[in-house]
């Protein structure tokens, strides 16, 4: 496999877009159907316009542990019922692959979970550098009223396992309760 031969610079523009990017992901509510806690609110939100929830601008790299993929995520503000807009969330296919998130603008929560049931949430704002340790699933949530933008760096061979989260979900939900941001266990929310 050919490794990236030369060093180079990337930049993030005022809108949070990584330049130069080589691939872009856009996810709407319908692309993550079944992930929000309130199925009726989710169905209504999809019928009411199926909003774009987030975009990822990524500079792809060779699939090799020695490489680092860089990307920015623009997670838009919004709610499904009382649950804030969020990413799908995933484990890395190679579970031992860590990741770094760096908050650029807006505010949110980084929700983390492990397959032994452990879970926690790290608040993120501009300047927050969050270390996603090996073996933790991760999802971000926009708890503000403007786009929550962050940069991520992860190993070229990490891969993404979405299926486990699609089946099992996260143990923690991030909701608006009485006008405040509340991180609650899924059982407590039901
Ligand atoms: C991030 C995420 C990105 C979108 O770059 O991939 O924020 O979230 P989902 O991948 O869960 O849809 C990352 O953690 N990469 O490994
Ligand atoms: Zn990741």
d(CA 36, CA 152): 24
Q: Is the CB of 84 under 6 A from ligand 1?
A: no
Q: Residue 173 half-sphere exposure, CB side, CA atoms within 13 Å? A: 21
What does the domain layout of the chain look like in residue ranges?
A: 11-189
High-pLDDT (> 90) share of the chain, %: 97
**Residues in contact with 46: Cβ distance below 8 Å, sequence separation at least 6, in sequence order:** 29, 30, 33
List pLDDT tens digits, range 137-150: 999 999 999 999 99
Q: Smallest Cα–Cα separation from 111: which of 139, 85, 86? A: 139
Beta bridge mates, 110? 122, 140
**Ligand nearest to the CA of residue 73, numbered in listed order:** 1
Q: 11-189: which CATH architecture?
A: Sandwich (2.60)
pTM here is: 0.97
């Amino acid at each position: 496999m050919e490794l990236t031969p030369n060093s180079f610079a990337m930049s993030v523009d005022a809108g949070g877009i990584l330049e130069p990017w080589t691939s872009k992901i856009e996810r709407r509510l319908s692309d993550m159907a079944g992930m929000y806690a309130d199925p009726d609110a989710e169905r209504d939100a999809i019928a009411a316009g199926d909003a774009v929830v987030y975009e990822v601008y990524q500079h792809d790299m060779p699939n090799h542990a020695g490489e680092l993929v860089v990307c920015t995520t623009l997670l838009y503000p919004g709610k499904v019922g009382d649950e804030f807009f969020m990413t799908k969330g995933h484990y890395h296919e190679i579970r031992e692959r860590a990741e770094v998130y760096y908050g650029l603008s807006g505010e949110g929560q980084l929700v983390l979970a492990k397959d032994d049931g452990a879970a926690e949430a790290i608040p993120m704002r501009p300047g927050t550098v969050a270390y996603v340790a090996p073996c933790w699933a991760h999802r971000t949530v926009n708890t503000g009223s403007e786009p929550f933008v962050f940069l991520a760096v992860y190993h070229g061979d990490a891969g993404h396992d979405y299926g486990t989260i699609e089946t099992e979900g996260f143990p923690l939900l991030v909701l608006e309760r009485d006008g405040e941001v509340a991180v609650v266990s899924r059982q407590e929310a039901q």
